Amino acid sequence: MTRFEKTLLTRSDDIDRLVKVVGSNPEDVDQAIAKERQKALKRGHMIIEPNGDRVWRTRFECLNSGRNIWHEDGVRVRCELKEITMSKDGESAARVVRIVWAAPQ
């Protein structure tokens, strides 16, 4: 019986967490790693990819003419949740995951 294994390294507040998934089916292992990756990103942890890239999510307030876009309730502002990828070379890339209403930072 063949065993498939993958690991995922996450970091939060300088605490490293290593998740190891073992299974008999490679698709199941890939799905389990993808779920753990999404959970870690939602919790605000940084993911360290096997190739050394670092991935994390952060929130940026959307601006219109230099001002926040306020919700009609007057408490929340429009924000973009972005996933930032920093390569080992120091180059970064960002993609918008979703747009949310949140308390201003």
Note the pLDDT of residue 7.
85
Question: Is 10 exposed, middle or buried (CB count within 10 Å of its CB: 0-12, 13-18, 19+)?
Answer: buried
**Domain ranges within the chain, ordered by starting residue:** 1-48, 52-105
Sequence-distant (6+) residues with CB within 8 A of 36 are 8, 19, 21
pLDDT single digits (tens) 1-15? 577 888 888 888 777
| Window from 12-16, 33-37, 93-97 with minimum mean pLDDT | 12-16
The tokens of 28 are what?
A: 């199941």
Q: Compute the distance between CA of residue 80 and CA of residue 94 in angstroms, rounded to an integer.
A: 11
Which one is predicted more confidently, 59 or 7? 59
User: What integer pLDDT is reported at residue 1 of this predicted model?
Assistant: 53
Q: Band of the pLDDT at 67, cuts 50, 70, 90? A: very high
